[in-house]
């Protein structure tokens, strides 16, 4: 039985990064207080109608650290949690102060996920990001001083102008900070972003594959294990919230544009913070739409998600022979090899639910 997760979306950013297609705004800071009021009210309503206590909570965005810490922790405190919850917040290293992390820890937050992307200034510039790599070190020191030991660093590879040595420097810099978890994603081109309009800056598949292999070599050598294609952790520090998603567990999303899932029904909220606040104030539903997954689709998705993890899929759901080198049998399961992880989408097409 998977754990129950709560996701809270904080849709405010200082700048819009030019590769980003998330629901986030740079001109809505005046709504912050009303937004937090609306989220807290929404949570209260769902609790009153029987929402379970949360085993995992994740604050994502947008940039959760854009909110004043007392606003953010008001939301944390309004979420009923089980005995040993995992409560994560995504942090922009430039926003983080010692007091802020202290307030977070006092409210129960016990995991931080820092948006590092790269440790190399010219690569950060190419991503249109501004932060100073030294701030990452400070944020981690504040977290440790406040008793937060679970620390994820988010990295991106394959940015235009990033050499393999730049990527190696980012990995070395990240590992030197001794995080417990690293997520490393290849840059993807999202429709409608400035990056999409500029093909000269689009990532190259072979370059990304080389960088993936380098990441895996270095992270594994540092004692981390790859437990999902893009995620590595020290033993015992795998992200429980992600596991809720990957095991098709139930989760409730709060805030605009957040998604929820309950027993095969997926539903998602209105997209803008303005609309979300207005719906809550008017006592209307914030749900924009939903879909009910049929049994076959659910079974197929379960396999696709599981294939991406070290759990793999049951023997019999994949023809192993034509996939030689891409998958291997481990007991009653078939799991991706590292070559297979690079071609996971192609392997997925051959699943037989």
Which residues of this protein are in contact with ligand SF4, per CB under 6 A?
13, 16-17, 20, 22, 24, 61-63
Of the two residues 127 and 336, which places its CB atom closer to ligand SF4 in the complex?
127
User: In terms of CB distance, is 20 or 344 closer to ligand SF4?
Assistant: 20
* Minimum distance, C-beta of residue 23 to ligand SF4, in the bound complex (Å): 9
Distance of CA 78 to the CA centre of its chain: 22
The smaller minimum CB distance to ligand SF4, of residues 17 and 36, is found at 17
Nearest to 46 by CA among 11, 84, 78, 87: 78
Which residue lies nearer to ligand SF4 by CB, 192 or 322?
192
Name the burial class of residue 35, with classes exposed (0-12), middle (13-18) and buried (19+) by CB atoms within 10 angstroms of its CB. buried
Name the token pair of 239.
């992200």
Q: Which is nearer to ligand SF4, 62 or 173 (CB)?
A: 62
Nearest approach in angstroms of CB 95 to ligand SF4 is 10
Task: Please state the closest distance from residue 199 (CB atom) to ligand SF4, in A.
Answer: 20
> Residue 40 has what DSSP assignment?
H
DSSP string, 284-301: ---EEEEEEPPHHHHHHH
User: From CA 236, how far away is CA 257, in angstroms rounded?
Assistant: 31
Shortest spacing between CB 283 and ligand SF4, in angstroms? 30
Cβ neighbours of 310 (radius 10 Å): 15
For 179-201, b/e burial (b = at least 16 CB within 10 A) is bbbbbbbbbeeeeebebeeeeeb
Min. distance of Cβ 92 from ligand SF4 in angstroms?
6
Nearer to ligand SF4, 61 or 312 (CB): 61
Q: CB of residue 17 vs ligand SF4: minimum separation in angstroms?
A: 3
Q: Which is nearer to ligand SF4, 61 or 69 (CB)?
A: 61
DSSP per-residue string spanning 222-264 = TT-EEEETTEEE-TT---HHHHHHHTT--EEEESTT-EEEETT
Measured CA to CA, the distance from residue 257 to residue 23 in angstroms comes to 7
For the chain, what's the residue count?
353
CB of 61 to ligand SF4, least distance (A): 5
């Amino acid at each position: 039985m998977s754990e129950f997760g709560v996701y809270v979306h904080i849709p405010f950013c200082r700048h819009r990064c030019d590769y980003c297609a998330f629901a986030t705004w740079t001109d809505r800071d005046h709504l912050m207080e009303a937004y937090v009021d609306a989220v807290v009210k929404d949570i209260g309503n769902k609790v009153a109608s029987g929402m379970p206590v949360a085993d995992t909570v994740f604050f994502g965005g947008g940039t959760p650290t854009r909110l004043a810490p007392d606003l953010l922790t008001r939301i944390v405190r309004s979420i009923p949690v089980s005995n040993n919850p995992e409560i994560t917040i995504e942090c922009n290293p430039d926003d983080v102060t010692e007091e802020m992390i202290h307030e977070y820890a006092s409210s129960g937050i016990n995991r931080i996920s820092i948006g590092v992307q790269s440790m190399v200034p010219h690569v950060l510039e190419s991503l249109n990001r501004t932060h100073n790599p030294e701030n990452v070190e400070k944020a981690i020191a504040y977290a440790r001083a406040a008793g937060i030991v679970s620390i994820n660093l988010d990295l991106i590879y394959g940015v235009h102008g990033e050499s393999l040595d730049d990527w190696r420097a980012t990995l070395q810099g990240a590992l030197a900070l001794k995080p417990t978890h690293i997520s490393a994603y290849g840059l993807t081109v999202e429709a409608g972003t400035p990056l999409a309009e500029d093909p000269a800056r689009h990532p190259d598949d072979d370059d990304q594959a080389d960088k993936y292999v380098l990441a895996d070599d270095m992270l594994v050598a540092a004692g981390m294990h790859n437990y999902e294609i893009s995620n590595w952790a020290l033993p015992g520090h795998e992200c429980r919230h992600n596991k809720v998603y990957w095991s098709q567990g139930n989760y409730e999303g709060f805030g605009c544009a957040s998604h929820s899932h309950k027993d095969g029904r997926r539903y998602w909220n209105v997209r803008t913070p303005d609309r979300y606040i207005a719906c809550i104030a008017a006592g209307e539903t914030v749900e924009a739409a939903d879909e009910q997954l049929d049994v076959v689709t659910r079974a197929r998705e379960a396999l696709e998600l599981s294939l991406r993890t070290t759990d793999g899929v049951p023997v019999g759901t994949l023809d192993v022979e034509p996939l030689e080198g891409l998958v291997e049998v481990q007991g009653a399961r078939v799991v991706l090899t590292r070559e297979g992880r690079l071609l996971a989408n192609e392997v997925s097409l051959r699943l037989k639910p």
